[in-house]
Amino acid sequence: MLLHKMRKKLLLGNWKMNKLASEAKEFALASAPFAALAKKNNIEIGVAPTYLSLATVKEFASKDMIVAAQNVHFMDHGAYTGEVSVPMLKEFGIDWVIIGHSERRAYDNETNQKCHDKMKVLFENNMVPVYCVGETLAEFEAGQTKAVVGRQVREGLADFSADDVKRLVVAYEPVWSIGTGKNASSEIAEDICGFVRETLRDMFGSVADEIRVLYGGSVKPVNVKEYLSCPNVDGALVGGASLKIESFEELLTNIL
């Protein structure tokens, strides 16, 4: 069996700052049929709602859907106004967290070190980080993609053990393709996802073959299959096209 066949495909929707809790509930209530379809086809699916909708989606979505937070603080509690901690997520059964999304890196000063501190707490609590990496347009045009992504992987994951990272998911999301409709080609996605895996192998050894590496950036029903056909692309992190139930369903059915 090819090594990549061992990795379960993963389709994760990042809702960003979208959907009222009532709208999130509507999506959750409709999730049973497509969650069952995904399970039957050995594909994992999930969504990352806002903090205010997490509990609702967790309660009303199919138990086969992953429900992920979009961020977390690295401290358990304390004087950190506006933040949410791991124990607070765990109380609601939330085990997955997106870390270092480019929008947080750009607007909230989320550095590789901060991502590292957050992932440390997640690993300590047997949780799953979806660690986002990716270069800006200027970096892409300057031919610096691998230098930038390599640094994000090495600094964000420095000093963890192979045992820690076996739960990790990495998402390669070129910043210039997020929400822009400007896709990275499947060749670029495969090349950089493969590079991420090589970097993980260099750092952690053979566990790299078990870590899922996703592509993200203007993934739509029409192009999702092309990305997921690449040997080193184990799934997709999807923003815009994950918001509507029909579109999410279509993303799934198009990769079956």
Kindly state whether residue 49 participates in binding ligand PEP, applying the rule CB under 6 A. Answer: no
**Residue 140 CB-half CA count within 13 A:** 16
Minimum distance of ligand PEP from residue 12's CB (angstroms)? 9
Kindly state whether residue 14 participates in binding ligand PEP, applying the rule CB under 6 A. Answer: yes
Kindly state whether residue 178 participates in binding ligand PEP, applying the rule CB under 6 A. Answer: yes
**Residue 98 CB-half CA count within 13 A:** 32
Cα 256 to Cα 245: distance, rounded to the nearest angstrom: 17
Q: Report the SS3 class of residue 19.
A: coil
Kindly state whether residue 173 participates in binding ligand PEP, applying the rule CB under 6 A. Answer: yes
Kindly state whether residue 219 participates in binding ligand PEP, applying the rule CB under 6 A. Answer: yes
Cα 147 to Cα 238: distance, rounded to the nearest angstrom: 24
Minimum distance of ligand PEP from residue 178's CB (angstroms)? 4
Kindly state whether residue 218 participates in binding ligand PEP, applying the rule CB under 6 A. Answer: yes
Residue type, position 30, single letter: A
Query: CB atoms < 10 A from the CB of 244, how many?
Result: 11
Q: Tell me the residue number closest to ligand PEP, measured at CB.
A: 239
Maximum Cα–Cα distance across the chain: 51
Residues 6+ apart with CB under 8 A from 145: 135, 139, 174, 192
Dihedral, CA of residue 182, residue 114, residue 130 and residue 149, to nearest 10: 50
Q: Measure CA 194 to chain center.
A: 16
Minimum distance of ligand PEP from residue 173's CB (angstroms)? 5
Minimum distance of ligand PEP from residue 244's CB (angstroms)? 12
Q: Which stretch binds ligand PEP (CB under 6 A): 37-45, 47-55, 133-141, 234-242?
A: 234-242
Kindly state whether residue 231 participates in binding ligand PEP, applying the rule CB under 6 A. Answer: no
Residue holding tokens 């060749």? 187
Q: Which of 189, 208, 237, 252 binds ligand PEP (CB under 6 A)?
A: 237
Size of the site for ligand PEP (CB under 6 A): 14
Minimum distance of ligand PEP from residue 19's CB (angstroms)? 14
Q: Which stretch binds ligand PEP (CB under 6 A): 46-54, 62-70, 187-195, 215-223?
A: 215-223
Residues that bind ligand PEP (CB under 6 A): 14, 16, 173, 178-179, 216-219, 237-241
